[in-house]
Every structure is written in C-alpha cells, then in structure tokens.
Chain A
C-alpha cells in the first residue's frame, strides 16, 4: 500500500490525467502530484480508465504543472482526523487550520501542510478501561474535557475485531499524538492508539441504533419554531434567490439554535461571511452556557475563490465531524451553505471528464449524492442509551431563483422541512423572507398542531383577501373581510417578521414564543367593532406599534407588563360595539 506511482499525462484545470506506472490504484484514494521543485498538491482519484490511465481531481491550483510530473498514490481515501481540539477552530475544506496557515503566509499558497489538530495542546486524559479489558471498534478508552463537553476517546470505529487492553495511560496530560493505549488483537499483535484517528469522509459513520426525529430543535426564530420547525436529527433546506436572506438566516440559526455543537460548512460562498462568523463568535457569549459561542462551533471554510475541487471535500468533512460529535452523545447541527456550489463543482469536474450531462449540465448522479448526504443526519441511540442527533440545514442557490432545477428538486425529496425564501417578501423587507404559504415542515412545532393550522388558515385567508383588495379596492370588500385581512397582516408583522439584528427581537426563547402566540391569538380571536376602514386600519396600526414596542423589551424590563397591558387594552377598547359609542 502507498507504493503506487504515476506520472502526469494531461492537465485541464483541476482535472489531471495520470499514467499509473507502478503498483495498483484505488478509486477514491488520495494522491500527491509533485510539482515545481517539491510542492505536493493533494488530489483524489476520481476515475480509473483503460490503459493504466487514472484521473485525479486536484484540490489546489494546477498552474505550473508539467506532463511527466511525478504522482505518488497513498492508498488511503480522503479522511478527516477526529479527536479533541476540533471545536473552536476554523479550517479549509481539507482540514488545514486557517489560523496556523496564516502564520506562514498571507495567501493560501499551494502545498502548505499543517497538522489538522494542534499537536502541542495537552489534554487531561482520564482512563475508563484497565489492562486486560476487552474492547472493539468504538469502545470508550477514556475521556478528556474539551470546551463545554467531556470528549470521549474511542477505539477507532473502523476496527472490526475484538482486542484486549495491553496497556492504558494513567490519568494525566497528553497531546493528541501521545500513545494512550496499546491493544492486542486475537493473534497477539499490538497496536498503539492515540486520541486521534482517521475516518474516510465519504463513508457514513454507522449508527449504533437509529431512531427518528421527533423533537423540535428551537432556533429562536419564530417563523421556524412555530410554523416550519426543524427537529433534532432532522433535515431542512432553504432555497432562495440571492438577496432573500439565506445567509442571515443561517447565521441567526448558528447563533441561537439549541444545538450542542454547530458546524458551519461555508462551501463555495463569500469569504466575508465566514469571516463574520469566526471573528464575531469568539466575542459573543452564549447565554445558555455563559461561554463564548465559538466554543461550540467548528467552521469549515472552502470559500468561492478557493480551489473548486475541495468544495465537495469540505461538505463531507463537516458531515464526518458532525457524525463524530453525535457519537460523543451531543446534538449537532450542520449548516451547509451552499449545497448548490458543491453541485456546481461536481458539474465542472463532470464536464471536464466529458461525461454525458443531465439537466442543466449537472451530472446524472447528482440526486443520488444529495440524498445520500442528507441521510447522514439522524437520531442515534448510543450503547449507553444516550440519544444524540445530527441535523442538517442546507441552503440552495438555484439559478435565477427558480426552484424547478435539479439541485432543489433532489433536495426537496431528501429533506423534512422546506424553507423557501422569496424575493417578493425580501423586497417588502418582511424578514425572515420565508414563504408563509409554500414552505412546509414534517416536524413537530413548539405550538400545537391545531394552533399551527389556525395560523396557516388565517395567513391563507389574508392572502385571498389581499388579492381581492388589489382588484376591488377597500370599498369593494366588507368590513369583516377587511378586519380579517388586517389581522393576518398583524400576525405577519409582529410575530412572523423578526429583526435578526435586534438584540432582543432577534431571538425568541420557547417560553416567550408561547406568550407571544397567546397574545396574537387573543387579538385574532377578539371581535373588532369599528365602522370605517380608515379607523380599522388606524386601530391595527396602533396595535402593531404597541406589539413591536413590546417585542423590543426584555422579559425583565420594568415596562414589559405595562406594554403587554397596553396591547390588551387596545384590543378591549374595540371589542364591544356599544361601550365604544
């Protein structure tokens, strides 16, 4: 293994043809192309053709490569290093830590190599097994504290046989490369284990026992938590045209969602957006833990100007890390922004390989890859009975904002919640611009199913009346219909719309959501006795104003109850026709 060699025979951007001159080659293995006096460019075998011809996709810029350049095959698939020290870091799509790379150069120069996990940090290891214990793949050897969690140290998941502990490190401080255990297999061979092991990123980690997503994952966004919820272990997609607020939505979920670990896969998107996260998050305190938000976050940044072939790697790497923290017993949330860029990277490579193209020149197999990706999310029941989960929310950037394209369509079939972003709503500044009528979710909401129906029905009714209004004007509809319309507009304005940038309105905890829902339901249920449309509109303007002022107050603000009473009074004033005279 690892002895195979070859030489470059063709170069076409990131696709390089190689003649395999020595040893055997495996599809999917990693190879290095040695160029320009020793720079090693990482690449992956993506095709093996007749005549010992092998195609590589190169994860770096192929400038200055020559026909005849030497290729070394590693025999190993593209892998991620799993162990303590991942949380709080920022890496590129191949797990190179960006802060470490920055010590060497301003620019992301090719062929730079840095250890994925910090090898200097000492972790305080507490053993859980003793000499003579029998173990197998994914048995727990001990643990170290990592940020907010106890990080379990496993026997590598890929180990198939039964082993006995030959030696185990005493409690103490070790770095990730120190041997912490030696195990013996049945034939008596010893194997040294560290706190770190490799996992092939494209291979889903097997579930110990898989369960189904049934519990709401609160995000702090009212429109999601009430109408289109996400679940622990569930999947969701948010397609939308540019400028409809996909990124703001993702950032808000990254900050406020009640997951234990959040992994952000910035795949082929703007560098600036990833920068906002990894420069802001360390400063932000997570109110639920009292610690920096960055402590629960891991960012994979393969941004749009980084090598295209590594986009795919970045998505899979994020997923493998997510699965690993699920094995740790945690609730993990992956935000993949954007899966379309990954699909486009596949399209570029497929085009260079001259494969017969599918719709919009995407490769035929795109739908299979997408569904297999979302299938890696799920609820897992671990050997000790702990329930843990991996949820995935993927954004999609459909060409022209048209959802009828291959990536959106394939994703809709594979995900449990659909958060369709609308340009119409974002133009009207109705954020989050998630389509109130067309979006959907199969997961349970923080309010009851009947309450969800109640809101959805009012929104539908409001929409119908609004189109009548457009056709016939205010005088063309009854006061009753006009009041229903105003109620649905109010529901939208004060409950569904939310200012992500406001410190208080930007995040709504489940108990406050309930309180707000009860209030809005009270308003909707209360009769309104007003004679003219002008006065109806004015009444609802005052209500909206009062409600927004209330939304902007902290729960413990001295004015909070007063403001609430003000809304109730406004409702009461107009609820009885005669008293009003």
Chain B
C-alpha cells in the first residue's frame, strides 16, 4: 500500500519531532527519509489536531527540515522465528551481526498483558548453584528479579552465570546502555558456555540513540513471550534498567512532562511494571523469567525504589558479595518447603543470627563487645561471608544446606540457634565431622 509522505516538519528536538499530518494513528511507525535517501524509524507518541509528535529512534541530531516523514501503517513490530537464535540485533530491530534481516512472522511489541487467570502460581525452583540464591533467596521459574548493585560490581557476570548454569530453553539478552566491553563480555561468556545456539541478543550500546535503548526491553520481551507461548522456558536478561529509566526521563523531559521525583516522569512505576510484568508461568505453556540489573548507589533512589515495588525481590550485590540483608526472593516460600525439611528453618536461623551479629558490629565500634557470645557471633559473621556470600562459588543446594549446619555447629550451641528441636537432632553435625566446612577454618 502506498503511504502518504509529509514534508512540513514543524520542530526537531533531541529525540522528538513534530509535523503536520492527517489520518495518522497513535503509536504508528514512521520512516524519516533524509535528503540523501537514508532512512530512520520514528514512532507516533501523541496527536493534537493535525499536529503529530514522533519519537525518533535515531535521535534528532542530523534531522533537517527538508527530511520527509512516511507513515508506515503499522505499529512497531519485531520478527519472530527460531532462526533468530544465535543472532544479535540492535534496539531498532536491525541485525548487527551481519546476518539477514528479520522478516518472518512479525509480532507486536509492548502488547497487552496476559490475563492473570492464564498464569500459574510459580512452583518450580530454578537451581542456580549460587548458595546465597538457592538457600536464602531461592529463584523460581517465572520470577522477575533484578540485581541491585553499584555500577562496576560484577553483576553482568552473575547474570550470565545464572542464565547459563540453569536449564533455560531460550536466553534473551536485552542490553541497554552497555559499554562495548560489556557487550563483548556477554557474547564471549555465552559462547564459552556453549549457549549461543539458544541465545538471542538485543543490544544497545552507548553509541546508539537513547530511543533505541528504550526499545530493547520491549523487543526482548515480545520475542521471549512468543517463545514462552510455544512452551519454552525463557530467561530474559535486562541490563541495565537504571539507564533505561534515565532514557525515559530524558524523553519525558523533551516532551515537557511534569516531573515527579528527581525529574523522573510520574509514570515511571507503570512503565517499569509493564515490562517486568511480562514475566509469567503460563498455563499449558512455557514460562518467562526476568533477571535484571538495576545499578544504584542508594536503594531509596526512584529507580531501585519503584523497581523493588514491582519485582519479586532483588539480589543485593555489594563489594563483590551477594548480601543477605537487602536481598529478597518473594517467591521462595512457594518452593523452599519442598526441597529439604531443614531448608526454611535453617534459612531463618542463619539470618537471625547474622542480624544479631550485625548489631554487634555496630557495638564493636564503641569497644563494648567483650562477652564470649558476642565474639562468637562476630566470628560467625566472618565465616558466613567467606563461605556463603561469594556469588561465584558453586554448590548444590543440599551441599549448601549441610554447609550451613557446619557453620552453626562450629560457632554455636544447639539451644542458641532457635531451630525446632527435631531438626537439630536430625542435622546437627558433631564437632570435627563437618561435611563441607574445611578444617583449616575451624
């Protein structure tokens, strides 16, 4: 179908363009045609009489008043096929690995949410081999959970590890605002792990326009959702959603929206939620699990704060360790009563003792910690950190649970740990008969 082309561009901003046009649909995709014939995509984001506001995928730089706009008569779409496995695409959906374009079975992007009654209650544990996750904040199929960390922590390594160590059928990496070396790292890691043939990458790096960065999660999730509906268990990795939120803020600002907190638009929560909520375990079908990254300095910052209200917990990474406090898996209760009978009890006991120890750390600064019990708590804290908090130590869940008992028995008396008596009888190891804890630390 021949679509009408418009030439009377009104205004050009950093990411926004306005033009007079008729019969245009809200959210319609358009092409910006440069005088030299080069093309870039844009999407309608608002209509007011004949004035059409478009978001420019390639940014506003270099767009001139003699560019033409052609409306394409369809919304933003992404191709979907098994041939996409192993491929790398940009935020505008174009391949960046030199391979052919996506043309088959175009699927809608940012579609409506799945009917909640088609969702299953998540009940399947995902074994990651990371003790802090498996024991303390168990990951569950279809969970949406980000890593909260400062920029520079090894969160992408953990993300790639978890995705490749589990039994996901399809891995989709949505990279937003990646440094080139981070992109390269993902690529190498996936190849090393032999997972390339089940992985699709949508990558936005710092040299690309922010609007393309904004598109990445939608493309990744739209494709992921299609695979999930085919019965596949899909892992979508989104790194980094703080930068994504920052792009959202820039675009909202360019549209003169009234800012809510720290310049972020008032709909930051809804915008993040409509992406994360794509995670689902679908009736008679597959599942979509989202592991994200939210870089942050302070958890009360609007991005981690809104994210925390949306996601089903978070893994808090600090100084290279996965922290117990600040981390949470909201779905763990769905699965950790079906693993081993001591799982819940020991998880709670270890946490309570660690929290007591943290208080002593504060008190230690006043020089007031001298009693034997407090000193043992402080020792316990050290052992806990060394043995359990390393995100790159691999242990099966059962080994990790045994290790917990070893640690408790090494530092405490039976009645000090607050565990139900039947569990203590069953699992308490005798001194010197530890299963996992190495002797050199005793």
Interfacial residues, chain A to chain B (CB-CB below 8 A): 9-13, 17, 61-68, 90, 98-99, 101-102, 105-110, 241-243, 247, 268, 270-272, 274-276, 278-280, 301, 303-306, 308, 341, 344-345, 347-348, 351, 354, 357, 360-361, 397, 399-402, 427-429, 469-476, 493, 501, 533-534, 537-538, 541-542, 544-545, 548-549, 552
Which A residues lie within 8 Å of B113 (CB)? 107-108, 271, 303, 305-306
Docked-complex contact A473 and B363, CB < 8 angstroms: yes
B333 in contact with A537 (CB, 8 Å): no
Q: With A and B bound together, what is the CA distance between A268 and B267 in angstroms? A: 12
Chain B residue contacts of A471, Cβ below 8 A: 363, 366, 368
Is A541 within 8 A of B274, CB to CB? Answer: no
Binds A, one of B34-42, B194-202, B380-388, B414-422: B414-422
Enumerate B20-77 residues with CB–CB distance to A below 8 Å: 22-28, 46-50, 75
Which residues of chain A come closer than 8 Å to B269, judged between CB atoms? Answer: 268, 304, 341, 344
CB-nearest residue of chain A to B262: A399
A552 touches B363 (CB 8 A): no
B305–A304 contact, CB under 8 A? no
| Binary contact track B312-351/A, C-beta < 8 Å → 1, others 0 | 1110000000000110101101000100000010001001
- Contact present for B115 and A108 (CB under 8 Å): yes
Known: A110-B112, A242-B305, A361-B259. 5 other contacts (CB 8 A): A11-B47, A66-B25, A241-B308, A271-B114, A304-B310
The answer to whether the Cβ of B435 comes within 8 Å of any Cβ in the partner chain is no
Taking Cβ atoms with an 8 Å cutoff, the residues of B that contact A are 22-28, 46-50, 75, 111-122, 142, 229, 257-261, 265-267, 269-270, 273-274, 277-278, 280, 282, 300-302, 305-306, 308-310, 312-314, 325-326, 328, 330-331, 333, 337, 344, 348, 351-352, 355, 359, 362-363, 366-374, 415-416, 418, 420-421
A475 — which chain B residues lie within 8 A by C-beta? 368, 370-371
Bound Cα distance from A493 to B353, whole angstroms: 13
Task: Report which of A66, A470, A545 forms a contact with B363, defined as CB distance below 8 A.
Answer: A470
Known: A271-B119, A304-B274. A533 touches B267 (CB 8 A): no
A241, A272, A538: residue with the most chain B Cβ atoms closer than 10 Å: A272
- Measured between alpha carbons, how far is A47 from B70 in the docked complex, in Å? 34
Residues of chain A within 8 A (CB-CB) of B75 are: 63-64
Nearest A residue to B355, CB-CB: A428
**Which A residue's beta carbon lies closest to that of B23?**
A66
Q: Complex Cα distance A84/B261, Å?
A: 44
Picked from B47, B121, B229, B302, the residue with its CB within 8 Å of the CB of A275 is B121
Cβ-defined contact, B277 with A344, below 8 A: no
A272 lies within 8 A of B355 (CB): no
Contact flag A305-B266 (CB < 8 Å), given A102-B117, A545-B415: no
Smallest Cβ distance from B31 to chain A, in angstroms? 18
Taking a contact as CB atoms under 8 Å apart, the answer to whether A399 and B302 are in contact is yes
B116 with A274: CB separation less than 8 A: yes
Asked, given contacts A9-B48, A11-B46, whether A399 binds B261 with beta carbons under 8 Å apart, the answer is yes
User: How near does chain B come to A266, taking the closest CB pair, in angstroms?
Assistant: 9
Which residues from chain B contact A268 at a C-beta distance below 8 Å?
269-270, 273
Asked if A67 contacts B273 (CB within 8 A), the reply is no
Residue of chain A at shortest CB distance from B269: A344
Query: Which residues of A sit under 8 angstroms from B49, Cβ to Cβ?
Result: 9-10, 67
Residue numbers in B under 8 Å from A476 (CB-CB): 368
Task: Give Cα distance in the complex from A279 to B114, angstroms.
Answer: 16
Chain B nearest CB, measured from A355 CB (Å): 9
Please tell me if the beta carbons of B114 and A106 are within 8 angstroms of each other in the complex. Answer: yes
Indicate if the CB atoms of B305 and A400 lie closer than 8 Å: yes
Q: Which of A9, A242, A501 touches B333 (beta carbons < 8 Å)?
A: A501
Residues of A within 8 A of B337 (CB): 501
Establish whether residues B270 and A304, one from each chain, have CB atoms under 8 Å apart when the complex forms.
yes
Also in contact, A470 and B119, with CB within 8 A (given A11-B26, A243-B328, A400-B305): no
Query: Which 8 A-B pairs have CB atoms at the shortest separation, nearest pair first?
Result: A473-B368, A400-B300, A304-B273, A305-B277, A242-B308, A305-B113, A63-B27, A361-B260
Instruction: Give bound CA distance, A41 to B211, whole Å.
Output: 28
* Closest Cβ neighbor of A12 among chain B residues: B46
A272 to B310, CA, bound (A): 11
Q: Are A108 and B114 in contact (CB under 8 A)?
A: yes
- How far is A280 from B121 in the complex, measured between Cα atoms in Å? 9
The minimal Cβ–Cβ distance linking A479 to chain B, given in whole angstroms, is 13
A516 to B130 CA separation, bound complex (whole angstroms): 40
Write the chain B residue with the least CB distance to A275.
Answer: B119
A361's contact among B121, B266, B312, by CB below 8 Å, is which? B266
Contact B259 A270 (CB under 8 A): no
Knowing A66-B24, A548-B420, the reply to whether A106 touches B355 (Cβ < 8 A) is no
Interchain nearest-CB distance for A552 vs B (Å): 7
CB neighbours (8 Å) of A67 from chain B are 22, 24, 47, 49-50
**Contact of B351 with A270 in the complex, beta carbons under 8 Å:** no
